[in-house]
Amino acid sequence: MDRFHLSSQDRVLDVGCGPGQLAIRLADWSKHIVGVDVDKGMLQEASKMANLLKISNIEWKLADVEKFINLQHHESFKLVTIGKSFHWLNRSHFLEKLYPTIQKAGGIAVIDDYQPDNVLEDWQIAFSKVAKKWYGEERRAGSGTYSHPTLSHEEVIEKSPFSIEKVECEPYEHYWTIETLLGHHYSTSYGLKSYLGSNVDDFEAEVKRELLSIHSEGKFKEEIRVKVLLGYK
């Protein structure tokens, strides 16, 4: 926040906000936050959590984010945050359209935890195998499918109108339970519970069986490495 000199009077946009974890964390830093997502269920979860925490300065928008950006006024936002949703966008085109909507001295923050060279834990391999069995080999993206882009986020931002700074965060260990792991999986665009139809209970039962056969205590460790790509206007 300090890098963009964000004040309580500034407006923030959270792109592909999902269930609202990031937007909610930013609520104390900004006058008004807009969280945009294409999934109605995710926005309902986000709104429920914000209401529970008595947060009233977040506006949840059900919209295609690229179409939403085309409707925004010049210099509408001081900061735009983008998490995993950046993978799913036409990134170069999106940044070009986004640039005019950002105020001077503002910018973007892309949170990137993609680790293509990371060695998976046994439980991660098992979970992935079960997920592919029930969801299919290809990741869904709305009505289409998803494949990981060849250009990194960093390379895309470097080619955009923004000036880039890369911030490497300290790696940390996170412990999942089966319940939190399933909750996280369902919060992703490719893991929506609706894709399973009537097979939700069978999917969850197989996840529990396979994972508990690896760690019977039901705790699963993951080392998470995050970098934040800042783009300045």
User: Which pLDDT tens digit goes with each residue over 111-167?
Assistant: 987 776 778 999 999 999 999 999 998 776 555 555 666 788 999 999 999 999 999
In percent, how much of the chain has pLDDT > 90?
61
Number of domains in the chain: 1
Helix axes 200-212, 178-186, angle to 10 degrees: 140
* Integer Cα distance of 211 and 178 in angstroms: 8
> How many CB atoms within 10 Å of residue 23?
28
Q: What is the pLDDT of residues 31-55, one digit of tens each?
A: 899 999 988 888 998 999 999 999 9
**CATH number for position 46:** 3.40.50.150
| Long-range pairs for 26-35: beta carbons < 8 A, 24 or more residues apart | 26/81, 27/55, 27/57, 27/58, 29/1, 30/6, 30/57, 30/78, 30/79, 31/57, 32/57, 32/58, 32/59, 33/57, 33/58, 33/59, 34/58, 34/59, 34/61, 34/77, 35/59, 35/60, 35/61
Q: Which residues constitute the domain of residue 128?
A: 2-232
In percent, how much of the chain has pLDDT > 70?
94
Mean pLDDT confidence for 190-199: 89
Predicted confidence band of residue 89 (pLDDT cuts 50, 70, 90): confident
* Integer Cα distance of 174 and 208 in angstroms: 19
Q: What is the pLDDT of residues 62-84, one digit of tens each?
A: 999 999 998 888 888 999 999 88
Comparing 14 with 140, which gets the higher pLDDT?
Answer: 14
- Contact predicate 16/36, CB 8 Å: yes
Which pLDDT belongs to residue 97?
95
Which pLDDT belongs to residue 177?
97
Q: Share the mean pLDDT of the chain.
A: 90
Q: CB-based contacts of 215: which residues, under 8 Å, 6+ apart?
A: 123
